[in-house]
Amino acid sequence: MRPSMSLIRSASRVARRTYSTESVPQRKVAVLGAGGGIGQPLALLMKLNPLVSHLSLYDIAGTPGVAADVSHINTRSEVKGYAGEEHLAAALEGCDVVIIPAGVPRKPGMTRDDLFNINAGIVKSLTTAIAKYCPHAIINMISNPVNSIVPIASEVLKKAGVYDEKKLFGVTTLDVVRAKTFYAGKAGVPVAEVNVPVVGGHAGVTILPLFSQATPKANLSNDYIEALTKRTQDGGTEVVEAKAGKGSATLSMAYAGALFADACLKGLNGVPDVVECSFVQSSITELPFFASKVRLGKNGVEEVLDLGPLSDYEKEGLEKLKPELKSSIEKGIKFANQS
Q: Which is nearer to ligand LMR, 39 or 105 (CB)?
A: 105
Residue closest to 131 by CA, chosen among 99, 90, 161, 151 = 161
Closest CB 241 distance from ligand LMR, rounded Å:
10
Q: Which is closer to ligand NAD, CB of 120 or CB of 187? A: 120
Alpha-carbon distance of 232 to 58, in angstroms, equals 31
Indicate whether 248 belongs to the interface with ligand LMR (CB under 6 A): yes
Closest CA to 32 of 54, 52, 58, 55: 58
CB 257 within 8 A of CB 42: yes
Task: Kindly state whether residue 240 participates in binding ligand LMR, applying the rule CB under 6 A.
Answer: yes
- Single out the residue of 174, 254, 301, 329 in contact with ligand LMR (rule: CB under 6 A): 174
From ligand LMR, ligand NAD, none, which one binds at residue 119 (CB under 5 to 8 Å depending on kind)? Answer: ligand NAD
Q: Least distance from C-beta 2 to ligand NAD, angstroms?
A: 26
Q: Which is nearer to ligand NAD, 18 or 181 (CB)?
A: 181
Cα–Cα dist 295/176, whole Å: 16
239 contributes a contact to ligand LMR by CB under 6 A = yes
Q: Which of the choices ligand NAD, ligand LMR, none does residue 240 contact, using the CB cut-off of 5 to 8 A by kind?
A: ligand LMR
Residue nearest to ligand LMR (CB): 236
Name the residue nearer to ligand NAD (CB basis): 241 or 269.
241
Distances (CA, A) of 76 to 7, 52, 70, 79, 233: 17, 7, 12, 10, 37
Distance (Å, rounded) from C-alpha 328 to C-alpha 201?
Answer: 10
Neighbours of 244 (CB within 10 A): 9
Give the residue with the Cβ less far from ligand NAD, 87 or 266: 87
Specify whether 202 is catalytic: yes
- Total residues belonging to the chain: 339
Stretch that binds ligand LMR, among 182-190, 231-239, 285-293, 299-307 (CB under 6 A): 231-239
First-residue to last-residue Cα distance in the chain: 54
Is-contact 24 18, C-beta < 8 A? yes
112 in contact with ligand LMR (CB under 6 A): yes
Residue 50 binds which entry of ligand NAD, ligand LMR, none, CB below 5-8 Å type-dependent: none
Of the two residues 145 and 267, which places its CB atom closer to ligand NAD in the complex? 145
What does the CA dihedral 214, 215, 221, 226 come to, rounded to 10 degrees?
-20
- From the list ligand LMR, ligand NAD, none, partner contacted by residue 199 (C-beta under 5 to 8 A by kind): none
Dump strand ranges (E) for the chain. Answer: 28-32, 54-59, 78-83, 97-100, 138-141, 168-170, 198-200, 207-209, 274-281, 289-297, 300-304
**Amino acid identity, position 298:** K
Q: Which does 285 bind (CB under 5 to 8 A by kind): ligand NAD, ligand LMR, none?
A: none
Binding map of ligand LMR across residues 131-170, x = CB under 6 A, - = no contact: -------------x--------------------------
Q: Whole-angstrom Cα distance, residue 46 to residue 52?
A: 7
Interface positions with ligand LMR (CB under 6 A) = 105-106, 112, 144, 174, 235-236, 239-240, 248-249
Active site residues: 202
